[in-house]
Structure 1
Amino acid sequence: MEYKVEYSAPALDEFTNLRAQAKWQNPDDKTLKASIENSLFWVAVYHIDKLIGTGRIIGDGAMYFYIQDVIVAPSYQKQGIGHLVMTHIEDYLSNTCSNGATIALLSARGKESFYTQYGYVKRDGDVLGLGMCKFIK
């Protein structure tokens, strides 16, 4: 299959649809639109004109970078789309990050090995402590 890669945010409706396909909750449109617009970098993968994969970088653009919304439509999983997304993300990071920068992500349970192949380490609490998050409702 032939895929088209774009380095821009997808349309709001495309992105909410992809998130829903992945069984991710969508916040209200205003919040999601602001989040989309405030990203540092986007990768959007299309098959024909259908959004099938995304990934983006958020952060301060200097010291801290966070990989977010690496999503592949269920019917396109196990076809290399996630690797395609991560390859473009890693290219961006290698050209943007200075020595001492920190790149972080949250992995879905059971998907850690996908990210370890790109050099990410699981925070098991031994050396780096455990990651934490807070959800606002």
Structure 2
Amino acid sequence: MISDKYSITLEKPSVEEFLNLRNKIGWGELDFDLAKMSLDNSLFHVIVRDNTQLIGMGRIVGDGAMYFYIQDVIVDPSYQNSGIGTALMEQLENYLTVAAQKGTTIGLFAAKGKEAFYARFGYILRPSESLGNGMCRFV
């Protein structure tokens, strides 16, 4: 449960806010137009504000049918460990409870050291007994 002084809403952040929050956690520079297109094409957004300041966000991307990916669960470093990440995940999971049907795959890439956080929500590590390594390619 997050503090009553923070507001949580189901809306996308501005591109400037998104880029600023990414920079605060060290994810580096990203082209404005690329970020805008990515936010615009997301399936679902949730944000947390302290007054007007964006302090956390999460979103879901995918095809809206068989594949959903939890993306950009970000909490401003000065607000971490205060329940904001959990509140974001709860909202993302609420959306998925309705949108994801039997046969759906929900994926995510955990930042190093954050695997246990996502395991609390039922996500499993790869590789496992039946699954190979997850892979990605950065451009």
Instruction: Indicate the RMSD between aligned Cα atoms, in angstroms.
Output: 0.9
> Aligned to 2:102, what secondary structure does the other structure show?
coil
Which residue of structure 2 lines up, in the alignment, with residue 126 of structure 1? 129
2-structure distance, mates of 1:22, 1:133? 20
* 1:56-67 pair list within 5 angstroms: 56-67=59-70
Structure 2 partner of 1:33: 36
* Stretches of structure 1 lacking an aligned partner (at least 5 in a row): none
Q: 2: distance between equivalents of 1:61 and 1:107?
A: 21
1:33-61 deviation line (CA, Å, top 9, x unaligned): 00010000000110111000000000000
2:22 to 19, 22, 44: 19
Q: How many residues align?
A: 136
CA contact 1:4–1:45 (8 Å) conserved in 2 = yes
Is residue 113 of structure 1 aligned with residue 116 of structure 2? yes
Matched, 1:83 2:86: yes
Residues 101-131 of structure 1: CA deviation (Å, up to 9, x unaligned): 0000000111100000000000125311000
CA contact 1:26–1:32 (8 Å) conserved in 2 = no
Note the C-alpha offset of 1:11.
0.7
Please report the TM-score for the alignment, with normalisation by the length of structure 1: 0.96
SS of 2:39's equivalent?
Answer: helix
Instruction: Give unmatched runs, 5+ long, in structure 2.
Output: none
Aligned to 1:42, the other structure's residue is in SS state strand
Q: Deviations over 1:67-101 (max 9, x none)?
A: 00000000000000000000000000001111010
The alignment's TM-score, normalised by the length of structure 2, stands at 0.95
Q: Secondary structure at the match of 1:115?
A: helix
How many percent of aligned residue pairs carry the same amino acid?
49
